[in-house]
Structure 1
Amino acid sequence: MSQSEIITIGSTAPGTGVDGDFAVWAPHRDRVRLRLGAADDPAPRVVDMERDRGGWWRARVDGAGPGTDYAYLLDEDPVPLPDPRSPYQPGGVHGPSRVYDHGAFVWTDDAWTGRPLAGAVVYEAHTGTFTPEGTLKAAIDRLDHLVDLGITHVEVMPVNAFDGVHGWGYDGVLWYAVHEPYGGPDAFKEFVDACHGRGLAVLLDVVHNHLGPSGAYLPRFGPYFSGENAWGPSLNLDGPDSDPVRRHVIDNALGWLRHFHLDGLRLDAVHALRDDRAVPILEELSAEVEALATSLGRPLSLIAESDRNDPRTVLPREAGGTGMTAQWSDDLHHALHVALTGETHGYYADFADPEALPTVLSRVFRHAGTHSSFRGRTHGAPVDLARVPGHRFLGYLSTHDQIGNRARGDRMGEHVSPGLLVCGAALLLCSPYTPMIFMGEEWAATTPWPFFASFTDPDLVEGVRNGRRREFAALGWAEEEIPDPMDPATRDAAVLDWSQTEADVHALVLETYRSLIALRRAEPDLADPRLDRFAVVASGDGRQLVLVRGTLRVVCNLASDGAEVELDAVPHELLLANGVPEIDGARVAVPGECFAILRV
């Protein structure tokens, strides 16, 4: 193609369309060429692109429609690089991108009107270990289990393209493309379509705070990063040339919601998004997602993972907040974990006080303008219980982080009895918060879930392997106790064992989870999110707790021995228990490691 054949398209249409239009942002490059053809094509077509004033390079090529492989050549570098906005990476993150037509997929969810997050029960799942096959197609076959359990929202861990076959997904480098070993873009659409057909909403975990270490070509195109955070370079959200960077993030979020019919996003570690703009990117994103939800006619949710303990995260924009629908509440996890397991190392030390669990249950945050010994400073701010409903905070007994960042990836069920585990579930599922379950938790799965990856660079493989060993050896772990994150067997051991759902105590735990979720749905008092109408009464040692939920009382005895609890009213109906409580007037004798839900 000669220079005269290049047609410049509109400056508001970045990315690659299906009509032969190509565009890429590379503001500081002197030359950008479009390479058309497969990676091994001995005679690819190379087209010079034309630059506009915004730093975008553009070209139109007739006949380069869906299925066309393409890449970019920057300046005189002979190595072709994938499109930063690639919609499809069939050859992995180092290979060429492929033109993909989002409009070609045939959806069957026309009647889907969405699900609000309020009243939800969320299920966190990792595609690569949810089934032995580790694919989105295989995951569809397990969706009926979630429906039977009573789940309303499936939160899928990141599916953006990352290097290798198996990994957590947080090392993604091409944020717009679905990981090919999971099945690629069509498979993800089929998964979402199947979920909607069963009444399940789908949330996607997205990572915008860093890139993975392999295939991170984004900085070669432009100033996408500036400064550092805990995982490496920090996204350039407020420096020179940051407008297109912010657009890269927002367009990515909107694209997932629009093209894949998703019902919401979980935003990874938003505290690592350094942004000094007058309008932070979270506010900008929430405004655009709200506009999209209005045009689509269904609710869309944004759930932040934030370490700040800042209530403004979930306040509306007009009230001075960022407009997030909800945020994860690690304080609630930590308090439950310490109360159930007795572990008090690291950040768990701040939750060792018997008052920690009742405090967090009733006030959301343990650190609310108080000293955090782990951080060595004052942390957080209090939640206005009269203004902020509990459904804006996700509570959980376990997550991918809280399990996977342990040396062996051991689950809570390895350290506590089934009775204590379901007591924890009762406290969570009968609380005003939005409950979230990590896959397999509902049957006390014994499969571990440690960190694993499958990078292709030998030096990186050794670096990750040795870094993991050093990290946990410093905490006293013997080398042989630490799974090799690069060994395929580590991933294989993390795959859920679905046969456990029908085995002995696992089946009993599963049935208890089902019953608790069903009761939460049947009894409005248990789902009531109003924090100023919720109370927690605890014994001096914190081992007996009573949740006051309207006309219901949730009694939990975390001690190994039976205990008597004096209620504020006389119960007259037992709704659910995992033991046999004895009721004498307002006094209830509860066996050790048991709960009872009563109507008064």
Structure 2
Amino acid sequence: MSGFAQETAWGATLLADGRTRFRLWAPDAPEVALEVEGQAPQPMTAQEEGWHEAVAAVGAGARYRFRVSPDLAVPDPASRLQAGDVHDPSVVLDPRAYAWRQPGWTGRPWHETVLYELHAGTMGGFAGVEAALPRLAELGVTAIELMPINAFPGQRNWGYDGVLPYAPDATLGTPEALKSLIDAAHGLGLMVFLDVVYNHFGPDGAYLHAYAKTFFDEGIHTPWGAAIDFKKPAVRSFFEDNALYWLNEYRFDGLRFDAVHAIAEESWLDALAARIRREIPDRHVHLVLENERNGAHHLRPAGEFDAQWNDDGHNILHPLLTGEREGYYEDFAEDGATKLAKVLAEGFFFQGQVSAHLGEKRGEPSAHLPPTAFVLFLQNHDQVGNRAFGERLTALAEPQALAAATALLLLSPQIPMLFMGEEWGASAPFLFFTDHNAELAPLVTAGRRKEFAKFAAFQDPARRERIPDPNAEQTFRDSIPDPGEASRPPHDAVLALHRRLLALRRERIVPHLPGARALGAQAVGEKAVLARWRLGDGSILTLAVNLGEAPAPCTLPDGAGGETLFEGLSGAAGRLATGTLLPRCTIALLSPPPAAGG
């Protein structure tokens, strides 16, 4: 069967007669010429509202640029393929050339999701990720989530400096290799999600500023500069087509939208999701937000998005495990057990209160949402990669407490996410790494070290100088996890725990997640919580977790007993039954559903 193609308003489109149509929105360029290698420049026809178009007698493989001024020729901002780096020519691609092995795959329901976030570059590119798929499927993962893969400057990047949102970066592999990865995943029953960045472009190679200044709104500023202006129809089409392109042409099963709180036109998010739902009605397509606003109205059942990353949950669990309280942890470090109880019962902690860290109100009420509307995690690229030395929790937390938190993560009705290597307690850090040009690189290095000057541990300039240089190749190499660790102590025990917990989740919890609702949660100690949910079949799941060093008094409410699914320490279930929750353990109990007619 031939491949799939997504029609786009921007870029190069192969026509049925073998020619190619090229379109560019360049409102600040009075004249634009198409320059195809080996041919004379061809003037593009100026159309309404800043569009320029040309049809050329070239097909797949043709290399081209757009001449937007006498001294500047640029790659296609909607390039499907680059002939090298982001500054090099774009290449016409035939999206239908790949023959899919699993063309009939329609995905899996959201409640079955166990996410595994990964960086393709640190796993050997698309081919390396494809090789790891059987291992991940056997572990119990049901969906991998690729950190951003779109073209970035240089040979390595942690993902968030991309400038060509349609082009898989050449250092990771070809478009065919990416499609093969997704195809292979589907053959194993795995979904594949993609992290997309629609809130900014990277600092090198974003030529839109030269010929489409109104792509950006200079009156609204983000941490990366002027905000992208989603009031413009051409801008909206650029990103809406991009989302549909990844979902249709590459057959991704879902998208994770990075930092949407930096998108000023909040209503556009809902319009985008509604369009995706409307145009892809026959597949399971999952849409997930990262949103500092805690905008509950975006989430199903009332909204169009399946879930949001639960940063509140992470930001509570991390101080409970490590004792850290600086930066954004200042909102969560005090009375952590009470805050964790609220997150388990209601999803968000911040539901309209003032954040001391942000100095403003944050969030909306979320208790009405199902637990599956929240993606819970102990680690991810941000909370590891944004640390000065990229330490994982294995280097920061007491092992038994981390094991207890892992059980909470994987047995909770919220959707769990693991960060690559977490399943065996990888010792490699995950650092912030880039490969910028000689002018930008020292600025990025200096800026990176300056970021940490406000933290107590980095008041000494000499210590800040020891923060790894993002542009050094060794920084990237140090971030590559070693799967060989998984077979050696103590990593093998960590892996065995993850495998056991994921099997329990798959067999005993996942089938009954549709219709699940929280029954409440409460702090029962300084670092201990008891939480309960009624699952869709009427059974009651009880999780008791104690991340602290001291036993916690814990009395089960009526109806909270039943079968012990998991106990973190030998004899722990008996102690819980007598009113004590042992240190650093998690216990999962499952009561049976009510008898028929009862």
Q: TM-score, normalised by structure 1?
A: 0.90
Deviation at 1:553, TM superposition (A): 2.9
Deviation at 1:60, TM superposition (A): 1.6
For 1:12 and 1:111, the matched residues in 2 are separated by: 23
For 1:381 and 1:13, the matched residues in 2 are separated by: 36
Matches within 5 A, 1:372-383: 372-383=355-366
For 2:506 and 2:550, the matched residues in 1 are separated by: 31
Matches within 5 A, 1:278-427: 280-294=267-281, 297-315=282-300, 319=302, 321=303, 323-351=304-332, 352-353=334-335, 354-385=337-368, 388-427=369-408
**1:193 corresponding residue in structure 2:** 183
Deviation at 1:14, TM superposition (A): 3.9
Deviation at 1:562, TM superposition (A): 4.7
> Of the candidates 516, 519, 529, which is equivalent to residue 534 of structure 1?
519
Matches within 5 A, 1:57-206: 57-62=52-57, 64-77=58-71, 79-129=72-122, 131=123, 134-206=124-196
- What one-letter code is carried by the residue in structure 2 that aligns with 1:53? E
Residue 435 of structure 1 aligns to a residue in which SS? Answer: strand
For 2:494 and 2:8, the matched residues in 1 are separated by: 53
Residue 420 of structure 1 aligns to a residue in which SS? Answer: helix
1:487-526 alpha-carbon deviations (Å, 9 max, x no partner):
1101100001111111112111111111111111211389
For 1:206 and 1:32, the matched residues in 2 are separated by: 29
| Contact preservation (8 Å) 1:432, 1:526 | no
For 1:119 and 1:80, the matched residues in 2 are separated by: 47
1:175-222 alpha-carbon deviations (Å, 9 max, x no partner):
110000000211111111111111101110000111101111022231
Deviation at 1:116, TM superposition (A): 2.3
| Contact preservation (8 Å) 1:430, 1:527 | no
1:207-265 alpha-carbon deviations (Å, 9 max, x no partner):
01111011110222312111221111211112xxx111111010111111111011111
**1:17 corresponding residue in structure 2:** 13
For 1:405 and 1:12, the matched residues in 2 are separated by: 35
For 2:561 and 2:342, the matched residues in 1 are separated by: 25
- What one-letter code is carried by the residue in structure 1 that aligns with 2:63? D
For 2:374 and 2:208, the matched residues in 1 are separated by: 33
For 2:81 and 2:408, the matched residues in 1 are separated by: 43
**2:586 corresponding residue in structure 1:** 595
Give the unaligned 5+ runs of structure 2. Answer: 1-6, 592-598
For 1:12 and 1:510, the matched residues in 2 are separated by: 44
For 2:562 and 2:36, the matched residues in 1 are separated by: 74
1:75-97 alpha-carbon deviations (Å, 9 max, x no partner):
322x3210111110132100000
For 1:490 and 1:572, the matched residues in 2 are separated by: 50
> Of the candidates 220, 225, 232, which is equivalent to residue 225 of structure 2?
232
Residue 110 of structure 2 aligns to a residue in which SS? Answer: coil
For 1:415 and 1:108, the matched residues in 2 are separated by: 44
Deviation at 1:531, TM superposition (A): 6.2
Deviation at 1:125, TM superposition (A): 0.6
Cα distance change on mapping 1:508 and 1:34 into 2, 3 Å: same
Runs of 4+ in 1 over 6 A off after TM superposition: none
Cα distance change on mapping 1:528 and 1:60 into 2, 3 Å: closer
Residue 13 of structure 2 aligns to a residue in which SS? Answer: coil
Matches within 5 A, 1:515-530: 515-524=500-509, 528=513
Q: TM-score, normalised by structure 2?
A: 0.90
| Contact preservation (8 Å) 2:346, 2:518 | no
- What one-letter code is carried by the residue in structure 2 that aligns with 1:345? E
Percent of residue pairs identical = 38
| Contact preservation (8 Å) 1:580, 1:590 | no
| Contact preservation (8 Å) 1:521, 1:527 | no
Residue 554 of structure 1 aligns to a residue in which SS? Answer: strand
For 1:328 and 1:468, the matched residues in 2 are separated by: 25
Residue 17 of structure 1 aligns to a residue in which SS? Answer: strand
- Residues 1:46 and 2:46 are matched in the alignment: no
For 2:174 and 2:8, the matched residues in 1 are separated by: 27
Residue 556 of structure 1 aligns to a residue in which SS? Answer: strand
Cα distance change on mapping 1:544 and 1:52 into 2, 3 Å: closer
Matches within 5 A, 1:359-508: 359-385=342-368, 388-455=369-436, 457-475=437-455, 476-477=457-458, 478-508=463-493
Q: Which moved more, 1:366-375 or 1:570-579?
A: 570-579
1:341-392 alpha-carbon deviations (Å, 9 max, x no partner):
221222212212131111111111221121211112222121142xx21111
Across the aligned residues of Structure 1 and Structure 2, the Cα RMSD in angstroms comes to: 2.1
